[in-house]
Homo-oligomer: A and B are copies of this chain.
Amino acid sequence: MTPGQGTQAGPRAAFELLWGQRSAGKRGPRPTLSAAEIALAGIAVADADGLGAVTMQRVADDLGVTKMALYRYVPGKVELVALMIDTGMGEPPRLAEVAGGWRPRLRAWALGLFELFQRHPWTLEAAVGVRVMGPNELGWLEEAVAALAGTSLDGAQMLDVVVMLVGHARNLAQQTARPSGGSTEQAMGEAIAALVRGREDRFPALATALRSAAASGAQDQALEFGFDRILDGVELLIACRA
């Protein structure tokens, strides 16, 4: 797409990289790198300077090799980013150790996902659109569905609940992302308030809501608030089905 029309590899190559194991033919010089190392270097770059700074050149420089050497381990940049995402997710949390049934477990799961998005903000812009999920990402999904296994929900509903939680964690991480320390309510509130100021006639409801929010001083509860509402709704459904 972007430059040079790229390799028309398609999602096939990404699948092989994420799920296939290195067959490791034995002949030839020892590989000085591995796809995992490259992914880690890319993650380091993305964490430090954003996804835009992740360049084959930059990653190669940080690893002390030439840009083209990376293509021995990684089919292309999109596949590298896909591997970065799955590597950055890491092992899914062990929810079986969380006591209290499905609700505290799902809550811990969603909170962990949110913290992950905060730790690696670039995943928000990297993991968009239809893409191939990796083993770790699927493992996260498995854990969440497993937490709902005992309930009266059917399979489709379980998946829908998980999608809801992902959406909320993701969307909230997105707004609390960049400006170096600004918290959720603060970042969003101040940005919007600055726009509404002087235009209260065009946005009256928004203006009063912002005044009320600023007066009550309650901050950074959007994440918890959303989880509470969603889980309340789910609990209601579970109760109705029993």
Q: Which A residues lie at the B interface, using CB under 8 A?
A: 1-2, 19, 50, 52-53, 121, 124-125, 128-130, 133, 138-139, 141-142, 145-146, 148-149, 154-161, 163-164, 166-168, 170-172, 174-175, 177-179, 185, 187-189, 191-192, 195-196, 202-206, 208-216, 218, 221-222, 225-226, 228-234, 236-237
Task: Give min CB distance, A52 to chain B, whole Å.
Answer: 3
Q: If the complex has contacts A133-B191, A170-B167, A171-B170, are A156 and B233 also in contact, measured as CB distance less than 8 A?
A: no
For the complex, what is the distance from the CA of A159 to the CA of B19, rounded to whole Å?
41
Q: What is the CA–CA distance of A164 and B167 in the complex, to the nearest angstrom?
A: 8
Complex contacts, A210 vs chain B, CB 8 Å: 155, 159
Which residues in B have their C-beta under 8 angstroms from that of A174? 128-129
Q: How far is B159's CA from A222's CA once the two chains are assembled, in angstroms? A: 8
Rounded to whole angstroms, the CA-CA distance of A163 and B184 in the bound complex is: 11
Q: Max chain B CB contacts within 10 Å: which of A2, A167, A230? A: A167
Write the nearest CB–CB distance from A15 to chain B, whole angstroms: 9
| 5 closest cross-chain pairs (CB), A and B | A155-B212, A167-B171, A229-B233, A1-B52, A155-B209
Closest to A161 in B: B229
Q: Please name all residues of chain B whose beta carbon is closer than 8 Å to the beta carbon of A202 when the two chains form the complex.
A: 139, 142
Bound complex: CA A226 to CA B228 (Å): 14
Q: Which residue of B lies closest to A168 (CB)?
A: B167
Could you pull out 23 A-B pairs where Cβ atoms are within 8 angstroms? A1-B50, A2-B52, A124-B128, A124-B129, A129-B174, A130-B178, A138-B203, A138-B206, A141-B206, A142-B203, A149-B208, A155-B208, A155-B210, A155-B216, A156-B209, A159-B188, A159-B213, A159-B222, A164-B226, A167-B170, A167-B171, A168-B168, A229-B236
